[in-house]
Amino acid sequence: MPPDFAPLKNDRILRAARGQTVDRPPMWVMRQAGRYLPEYHEAKGKNDFFACCRSPEIASTLTLQPIDRYDGFIDAAIIFSDILVIPQAMGMEVLMVDGVGPRFPNPLRSPSDQQYADLLAKEVDVKKELDYVYKAITLTRQKLDGRVPLIGFCGAPWTLLCYMVEGGGTKMFREAKTWVFKYGEEGKKLLQKISEICVEYLVLQVEAGAQMLQVFDSWAGELTPASFEVMSLPYLRYISKHTKERLKERGLDVVPMTVFAKGAWYALDQLCESGYEVVGLDWLHDPAQAVEIANGRVTLQGNADPGVLYGSDASITNVVEHMVQGFGGGKQRWIVNLGHGITPGVDPEKLKLFFQEIVRHTT
């Protein structure tokens, strides 16, 4: 049974996700707990990144930092964790190297590697392996005390496969493209395996207290529209369908789900039919055009260029005005966000101004 939590005092984001009218658009930003906040560095201290994820106390503290700092503006918390906890649960070693990013000492290179057969054969105990995430979610819900809903998340199968075969971030995608154009059939088997783990993981996050779910397909934009239909979309659909079915079967709340396929502007129409209540937009979309394509089928989330937060106050106002106008005033079918994660080096006061300008233009 899910634990008992305080009733929600602010359900703006859940209402907007379900297409209901809100007094002003709900707001949050991807990576809102992170390196641009001085209090993040202070609380993280010398702890290794994944050690922070594994400590429910530290993870919940980091999750709450932006909620406290932007009290009254931010309408959702997102659990402090990472998409790469799934490859770890599958048995791969992942390190977070300061100033570099994630590194897999032994990436998966070819379907003829023993590692490929092992990954497919392994029965991952998703409850046990990722127990620390569920504990962090439950503790965070308790600390939130109903202030705002808590978002759970996972990486999309295509994006996770990219990291597993590249062994970290990349600009070339040489290995990932090899799995698209040379090992496609073997790649699909692995994508299916990852999808099944994602479903179980998301359901267990809801059981632990997550009130909304987001699937991050950060590398969708590396695919052609045709490859996206083969290597990404079927698995995004599998995840929404099966997560909802399983939530229902287990008597859990069928929470709203968001898909964020970065760079897949060409697939917006298909994403509106992929079983998610919310579709996240990066900054390549013009808001008004996206609204026209979505045509009321989903709630849209986004989509300011995170780079505007390096800019002048006047440019922030400009971007906000363009979004508010494009998204139709903001009382329906819009969740305010950036088009990708907030970047290190941003002055936290600029994010505050962004929120203030949204409120000023929508109330």
Q: Give the binding site for ligand 1CP (CB under 6 A).
A: 30-35, 49, 78, 80-84, 96, 101-102, 153, 169, 216, 218, 341
CB of 77 to ligand 1CP, least distance (A): 8
Outline where the chain has alpha helix (H). 12-17, 38-44, 49-54, 56-69, 85-89, 114-121, 126-129, 131-144, 157-166, 174-181, 184-208, 225-231, 233-249, 268-271, 287-294, 313-326, 348-362
CB-wise, 20 or 343, nearer to ligand 1CP?
343
Query: What residue is closest to ligand 1CP based on CB?
Result: 169
CB-wise, 303 or 362, nearer to ligand 1CP?
303
Q: Find how far residue 137's CA is from the centre of its chain.
A: 15
CB of 325 to ligand 1CP, least distance (A): 27
CB of 331 to ligand 1CP, least distance (A): 26
Residue 284 and residue 263: Cα distance in Å, rounded? Answer: 7
CB-wise, 217 or 324, nearer to ligand 1CP?
217
Q: How far is CA 26 from CA 46, 163, 237, in A?
A: 34, 32, 25
CB-wise, 134 or 153, nearer to ligand 1CP?
153
CB-wise, 102 or 302, nearer to ligand 1CP?
102
| CA neighbor of 133 nearest in space, from 58, 56, 243, 203 | 56
CB of 57 to ligand 1CP, least distance (A): 16
CB of 314 to ligand 1CP, least distance (A): 27
Residue 15 and residue 26: Cα distance in Å, rounded? Answer: 9
